[in-house]
Amino acid sequence: MVWQIDKSHSEVGFSVRHMMISNVRGRFTDFDAEVSIDPAALTQAKVSAKIAAQSIDTGEARRDGHLRSADFLDAENSPYIQFQSKRLRQAGNDLTVVGDLTVRGTTREVTLKGEYEGPSKDPWGNQRLGFSLAGEIDREDFGLTWNQALETGGVLVAKKVKLQLEIQVTSQG
């Protein structure tokens, strides 16, 4: 069964340590996915997602411009971040999704862990499923190596990027 992402109830977010002292959070505002799920056989699900790199939003226009540049996402030459699921494991409501993440033409396997909720029927008769997933990547594995050393030691931007996904999907009937 094919499900549609309910974008008004979904978010693709991330956080990364800045100056080794605090986390900067952001999100992507333009994303979509092809989701094929049978709730009775969740481990057979297939997900193919596409995120517009240009849609990065950290709430700071100058930083967002830098993140879109060739120093980081290179949105002009690599307009999409893509994810293709490879396998899913389920234990009750706990879910592990393993797939290939492609950023700037570089593909690496990533693991997302979290929870699955549903199915549930909304007031309009649609079926809904919810997923809360998190993972972590090393941005340098994807060629995102720009950084700046700090006088006090450490670097401006950490290597590790935490991913946070809140995804709700719907199906008619």
Q: What is the pLDDT of residue 173?
A: 52
Q: What is the pLDDT of residue 65?
A: 94
Domain ranges for the chain:
2-171
Q: Does the structure show a pLDDT above 60 at 145?
A: yes
Can you tell me the distance from the alpha carbon of 115 to that of 11, in angstroms, rounded to the nearest whole number?
15
List Cα–Cα distances, 32 to 5, 49, 83, 137, in angstroms.
Answer: 7, 6, 11, 21
Q: What is the pLDDT of residue 107?
A: 97
Q: Does the structure show a pLDDT above 80 at 158?
A: no
DSSP count for the chain of H helices, then E strands: 1, 11
For the chain, percent of residues with pLDDT exceeding 90: 60
Model confidence at 79, pLDDT cuts 50, 70, 90, reads very high
Can you tell me the distance from the alpha carbon of 122 to that of 100, in angstroms, rounded to the nearest whole number?
32
- Tens of pLDDT, residue by residue over 17-74, are 776 767 889 999 999 998 998 888 888 999 999 999 999 999 999 989 989 999 889 9
Look at domain 2-171 and name its CATH class. Answer: mainly beta
- The mean predicted confidence, pLDDT, of the chain is 89
Model confidence at 141, pLDDT cuts 50, 70, 90, reads very high
The answer to whether 64 touches 52, Cβ cutoff 8 Å, is: no
Model confidence at 166, pLDDT cuts 50, 70, 90, reads very high
Q: What is the pLDDT of residue 41?
A: 86
Q: What is the pLDDT of residue 83?
A: 97
Q: What is the pLDDT of residue 137?
A: 94
The answer to whether 26 touches 14, Cβ cutoff 8 Å, is: yes
Model confidence at 150, pLDDT cuts 50, 70, 90, reads low
Mean pLDDT (whole number) for 1-15: 92
